[in-house]
């Protein structure tokens, strides 16, 4: 029997109508595959062998009664056909240490562990400067202020270690909070942040495009609440199924081969006005909303793609 291990946050927290990890678990289970779960504290490596202290899990679409666990077992990662690394940030040393364990079974881990480390969601677009708005990675506050002056308007500050829009703020020219926001975002110059040119089209929504093994499969327009900059679903963004424009298709065709070569099976990029603003590789979401709005069942496609990669 095909076996899947999900390294992820506790299933008790999942929203069965929204969570992509839940959708992947259910898709695998409905095929008769074995589904197992552990958090990163269950991972260990000993003399070259990677292991997981994990539990079998069965899921169903009944919120509050959606996950049932079996007995704890310690298994080698090589016992599994696919290992899904779906742990939400913070992207910190504990997260990186977990990828060191996963390095010992790289051919069955999605995404590939070394690429999880090297493709930070906020900074990896620096590899594709012609596809993105002006973007700076820095921690020096004077450098960030000079960048804002150079782009001639508003910028957005993004912390590197969080997800789901946490900590993202906009700086507008003349804002009396500028110095304070820079101090908080950079911890007074001790932490790097991404500064990115503000794109006014964000008020019309940002488009999440889901890639399956390097191919753009569907787009989801996320329209932010009137009182918020961010288009994240969990903070109340409205969503619509959104076909790709011609310009967006060109961008995705340029990006896709690099994603596939890096071993990124499941990626959600963010676009504002056909400009690339993020490349989400740790635990992208949106596949349930896409299916519910009449788009493809990407959970099924992702299971197919993972097994196809095994040959």
Catalytic residue among 112, 207, 280, 300: 280
Catalytic residue among 51, 87, 112, 158: 158
**From 51, 217, 222, 275, the catalytic residue:** 222
Instruction: Name the catalytic one among 19, 206, 270, 300.
Output: 270
Find the catalytic residue in 213, 278, 300, 301: 278
Residue reference for tokens 């065709």: 253
Q: Is-catalytic flag, 58?
A: no
Q: Are 9 and 87 in contact (CB under 8 A)?
A: yes
Residues 6+ apart with CB under 8 A from 77: 5, 50, 51, 52, 83, 101, 102, 104, 105, 108, 109
For the record, the structure tokens of 70 come out as 């079996």
- DSSP run (H or E) holding 309: helix 298-309
- Let me know if 207 is a catalytic residue: no
Residue found by looking up tokens 């327009």 in the block: 221
Specify the residue for token string 């308007």: 153
Give the integer Cα–Cα distance in Å for 144 and 195: 7
Is 222 considered catalytic here? yes
Residue of 175, 199, 176, 195 whose CA lies nearest to 185: 195
Using DSSP bridges, classify how beta strands 82-86 and 109-110 pair: parallel, antiparallel or unpaired.
Answer: parallel
Question: Which position among 86, 87, 208, 217 bears the catalytic label?
Answer: 208
Residue 7 in contact with residue 86, Cβ under 8 Å? yes
87 classed as catalytic: no
18 is catalytic: no
Please, what's the b/e burial string for 221-239 (b: 16 or more CB within 10 A of its CB; e: otherwise)? Answer: bbbbeeeeebbbbeeebeb
230 is catalytic: yes
The Cα–Cα gap between 112 and 259 comes to 11
158 is catalytic: yes
Residue 208 annotated among the catalytic residues of the structure: yes
Q: List the catalytic residue out of 108, 122, 207, 217.
A: 122
Task: Give the Cα separation of 126 and 124 in Å (integer).
Answer: 5
Tell me the catalytic residues: 122, 158, 208, 222, 230, 270, 278, 280
């Amino acid at each position: 029997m095909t076996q899947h291990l999900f390294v992820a946050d506790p299933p008790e927290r999942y929203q069965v109508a929204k969570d992509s990890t839940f959708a992947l678990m259910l898709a695998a289970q409905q095929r008769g595959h074995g589904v197992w779960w552990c958090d990163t504290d269950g991972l260990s490596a000993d003399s070259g062998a990677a292991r997981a202290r994990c539990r079998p899990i069965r899921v169903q679409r009944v919120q509050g009664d959606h996950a049932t666990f079996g007995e704890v077992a310690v298994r080698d990662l090589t016992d599994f056909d696919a290992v899904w690394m779906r742990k939400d940030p913070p992207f910190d040393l504990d997260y990186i240490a977990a990828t060191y364990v996963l390095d010992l079974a790289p051919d069955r881990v999605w995404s590939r562990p070394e690429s999880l480390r090297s493709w930070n969601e906020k900074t990896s677009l620096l590899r594709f400067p012609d596809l993105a708005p002006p973007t700076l990675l820095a921690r020096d506050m004077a450098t960030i202020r000079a960048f804002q002056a150079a782009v001639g308007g508003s910028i957005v500050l993004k912390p590197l270690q969080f997800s789901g829009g946490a900590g993202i703020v906009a700086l507008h020219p003349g804002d009396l909070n500028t110095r304070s926001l820079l101090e908080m975002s950079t911890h007074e110059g001790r932490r790097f942040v991404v500064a990115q040119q503000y794109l006014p089209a964000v008020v019309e929504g940002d488009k999440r495009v889901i890639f399956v093994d390097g191919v753009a499969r569907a787009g989801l327009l996320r329209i932010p609440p009137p009182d918020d900059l961010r288009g994240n679903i969990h903070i109340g963004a409205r969503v619509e199924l959104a076909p790709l424009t011609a310009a967006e298709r060109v961008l995705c065709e340029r990006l896709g081969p690099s994603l596939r070569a890096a071993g990124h099976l499941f990626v959600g990029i963010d676009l504002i006005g056909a400009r690339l603003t993020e490349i989400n590789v740790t635990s992208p979401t949106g596949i349930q909303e896409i299916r519910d709005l009449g788009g493809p069942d990407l959970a099924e496609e992702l299971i197919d793609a993972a097994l196809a990669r095994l040959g």
